[in-house]
Chains A and B, each alone.
Chain A
Amino acid sequence: MRFPEKTASNSQREDVKHMTGKEVKDCYQCMKCSAGCPMASHMDRLPHEMMQLAKLGLLEEVYASKSLWICASCMACSSRCPRDLEPASVMESFRVTLLRETPNREETCDGDLTVPRQAMIASMRKHRR
């Protein structure tokens, strides 16, 4: 894999930080998230790889990964992360971003709300309410 000439811009990195509420740069790749992930065998990229890609600013690869949709949000990784980075929340925020970018998906809520349903749930889970 040749690194692209341009990795994520500072503003993109800021967006990720804003959305996840976490600084992915803090990840030191202990790989505990992948070690305990019950869905790991079904994933094309393990949770620690997702963190590393985000850290390196290779966001296109993050969004292309199927792992985002395989994550069961069981939060095992989040509860054990020694850097308090909550990889599950980081995954979720990437899902939210993707869903926001495609408003006409089937999962969109009925009625006046144009927010995707999954994004609503994700938001509730993320903010614990």
Chain B
Amino acid sequence: MRIGVFVCWCGSNIKNTVDVDAVTARAKTMPQVVYAQDVQYLCSEVGQSEIGQAIDTHRLDRVVVAACSPRMHETTFQKLMAAKGLNPYYVEIANIREHCSWVHTDKEKATVKAIDLVKKAVAKTAFAIPLTSDQLPVTKRALVIGGGIAGIQAALDIADAGYPVDLVEKESSIGGKMAQFDKTFPTLDCSACILTPKMVEAATHENIRLYTYAEVAAVSGYVGNFNVTIKQKATSVNPEKCNGCGDCVTKCPKKVPNEFDCGSSKRKAVYTLFPQAVPNKPVIDRDNCIYFATGKCGLCAKVCQTGAIEYQQQDEMIENQYGAIVVATGYELKVPDHLGEYAYGQHPDVITSLELERMLNASGPTSGKVIRPSNGKMPRRIVFIQCVGSRDRHDGNPYCSKVCCLYTAKHTLLLNEKFPGTESYVFYMDVRTAGKNYEEFYERARQQGAMYLRGQVSKVEPLGDADNRVLVRGFDGSLQRQVEIAADLVVLATSMEAQPNAKTLGGMLGISTDLNGFYTEAHAKLRPVETQAQGVYLAGVCHGPKDIPEAVSQASGAAVKAIILFNKGQVKSVPTTAMVEKDRCSGCMQCQPVCPYEAISQEMVVERVHGKERQRAVATVNRALCQGCGACAGLCRSGAMDLGGFTSRQLMAEVDSL
């Protein structure tokens, strides 16, 4: 065996903290090492050709690269190995940057550690076995989870590329949060006017199948071959028969708070989400329906002329195969009643921005009029409070919700335009207008009269006057004084949060959530729409707070990733899969239940014992399903299960070398 060791400087990243000359010199003395060299940048073309030449000249068959994390450049070096006719898994990486130079300051000790890391890698690669990957077929159908603007855009893009898409939405209509908005910044386009054409397009597209009032119940499989169970909730209305006349809604006697209007209006127990709903067929909310509670009523069935009401409908489980999944599950707004100082929920005239948005909307609870919920009169002086529950480590979310600065500017503009004479005060900590034409929009809001006061509000309390106004106590950083404003209405820019079930869905999909519950991308800069699970892509706010243009761009990005996968038509399987040494396997099958990918099954082997043929059960791994997590290898008590690239022999060699 002829091992070559290459030590990278990574410019000054490694060289400043690790004595690369000493590491190289020491590497030359390690067992089976026939060549060692240090290079300024191993990942550069020069560095690559140095390795290539050394392989040729010194007839190397194993290569150890002491450089950055394998997450950065493992594939670079693997490709080089393949080009040289060597197995890609004959290269081993000693991470002397992230694991050494970046985290240490003492050069002497860091050098000792770097030498140890190289020693370990050399010992490991000596026992490396060649690994190959297989080509697996891809199911050319995509699943988009979430029918908000991001999900709709992703579905449309994939469908336009000619691939079938299923769009799953938990509400009875697609549209998401954007359907609740009145206008959109920075152009003040009517939200519905730009959204509904896309909704209709999604509903009528020949390649898109909508599953509304449905949720993803289970996911198994892997990239190119996901098995997904969709739970179609019973709508109690037969969509084939229903003509959308709305008679059932009119006659329904049960009224419940309308979630679409943040509870500020009532809806019936049988309802359509909003006037432009797609599909525009009502559903019966069984938790609130009198018939489902008592078995009486049944008015909707009586008035329905087409006999579309079907109380006996059952939830349905639909199983489908998909090649790629786009997650676009969006967000929820935090109800700010946890911050007592803002009196939300205590004083009726303290509302959230979305409640104001619904009021401004012509199809909202007040038909576009802005009123004080306490007395129905028009407010004259409105105070906006920014960062309510955002950027708040004490009692909220530590992150910035990103869109509040702009939608508050939008609200002040709309109020000034629709109701001249209203005064808008905005208490803020920072105004963040990073986006095309956003600064200009903010400027326009200020010019139209919005008065910005830098400083957070400490208390909102009833003023106790005849009008039942509220007193907002804040501070103006410019005047360096406490200020008090007697306001008619207080609007809280409340925080965007991950969906409450984001973790559960993430668990099903094999993708992780960050500290704040948003899904984690594969790489913060260079792979922002991909996830750690191959074939699962992110779009919209489920990945972190975003505005509409950003969510739409990300959705198109996610769609393209799925399209690339479908165009290729096949995927490479994971080469580092589990392997069973059948002679050692006792057939206890303890590995089967721990496998998260259902890749392990039982097979019978024929053995000759004392001249007799005997059948014996052993475990076997489906290489297409195995993702190389290693759970089985860690558990196997007879040591029969090994993980390619990380065999027990290799790991023991590493430990022994130290």
Contacts and interface: CB of A to CB of B under 8 A. Distances in A.
Contacts of B481: 1
A26 interface: yes
Contacts of A28: 446, 452
A115 B431 CA distance: 44
B484 A2 contact: yes
Nearest to A23: B447
Nearest to A57: B451
Contacts of B486: 2-3, 5
B396 interface: no
Interface in B534-577: none
B10 to A, nearest CB: 40
Nearest to B485: A3
Across the A-B interface, the 6 shortest Cβ-Cβ residue pairs: A52-B478, A2-B484, A3-B485, A29-B478, A1-B481, A25-B447
B482 A1 contact: yes
B524 interface: no
A49 B486 CA distance: 22
A26 B443 contact: yes
Nearest to A56: B451
A25 to B, nearest CB: 5
Contacts of A52: 476, 478-479
A55 interface: yes
Interface of A: 1-3, 5, 7, 23, 25-26, 28-29, 31, 48-49, 52-53, 55-57
A53 B483 CA distance: 12
B480 interface: yes
B476 to A, nearest CB: 7
Interface string B476-497: 1111111111100000000000
Choose among B423, B447, B479, B485 the residue with the greatest number of A CB atoms under 10 Å from its CB.
B479
B454 A29 contact: yes
B517 interface: no
Contacts of A49: 478-480
Contacts of A3: 483-486
Contacts of B446: 25-26, 28
A23 B448 CA distance: 11
10 contacts: A1-B482, A1-B483, A3-B483, A23-B447, A25-B449, A26-B447, A28-B446, A29-B478, A49-B478, A57-B451
A18 to B, nearest CB: 16
Contacts of A23: 447
Nearest to B481: A1
Contacts of A26: 443, 446-447
B484 A55 contact: no
Interface of B: 423, 443, 446-447, 449, 451-454, 476-486
Contact of B479 (A5, A53, A57): A53
B478 A1 contact: no
A55 to B, nearest CB: 7
Contacts of B477: 29
Contact of B484 (A1, A29, A56): A1
A34 B486 CA distance: 30
B478 A48 contact: yes
B111 to A, nearest CB: 49
Choose among A7, A23, A49, A56 the residue with the greatest number of B CB atoms under 10 Å from its CB.
A56
A66 B451 CA distance: 25
A1 B481 CA distance: 7
Contacts of B449: 25
A26 B446 CA distance: 7
A3 B487 CA distance: 10
A33 to B, nearest CB: 11
Contacts of B480: 49
Contacts of B482: 1
B308 to A, nearest CB: 57
A82 to B, nearest CB: 12
A70 to B, nearest CB: 18
A123 to B, nearest CB: 27
Given A1-B484, A56-B451, A31 B423 contact: no
A29 B486 CA distance: 24
Nearest to B445: A25
A29 B442 CA distance: 14
A25 B442 CA distance: 12
A11 to B, nearest CB: 13
Contacts of A29: 452, 454, 477-478
Contacts of B443: 26
Given A1-B484, A7-B423, A52-B476, 14 more contacts: A1-B479, A1-B481, A2-B483, A3-B483, A3-B484, A26-B446, A28-B446, A29-B452, A29-B478, A31-B478, A48-B478, A49-B478, A56-B453, A57-B451
B477 to A, nearest CB: 8
Contacts of B453: 56
A55 B443 CA distance: 14
A93 B447 CA distance: 20
Nearest to B478: A52
Nearest to A6: B423
A13 B307 CA distance: 65
A48 B478 CA distance: 7
B415 to A, nearest CB: 15
A3 B485 CA distance: 5
Choose among B451, B480, B481, B485 the residue with the greatest number of A CB atoms under 10 Å from its CB.
B451
A57 B381 CA distance: 14
A28 to B, nearest CB: 7
A33 B505 CA distance: 53
Contacts of A2: 483-486
Nearest to A55: B451
A3 to B, nearest CB: 5
Nearest to A13: B449
A31 B482 CA distance: 19
Choose among B452, B480, B481, B486 the residue with the greatest number of A CB atoms under 10 Å from its CB.
B452
Contacts of A48: 478
A37 to B, nearest CB: 14
Nearest to B472: A3
A3 B481 CA distance: 12
Contacts of B452: 28-29
Choose among B449, B477, B478, B484 the residue with the greatest number of A CB atoms under 10 Å from its CB.
B478
A92 B479 CA distance: 20
A7 B421 CA distance: 12
A21 to B, nearest CB: 15
B22 to A, nearest CB: 52
A52 B443 CA distance: 15
Nearest to B484: A2
Contacts of B478: 29, 31, 48-49, 52
A66 to B, nearest CB: 16
Choose among A26, A52, A53, A57 the residue with the greatest number of B CB atoms under 10 Å from its CB.
A52
B455 to A, nearest CB: 11
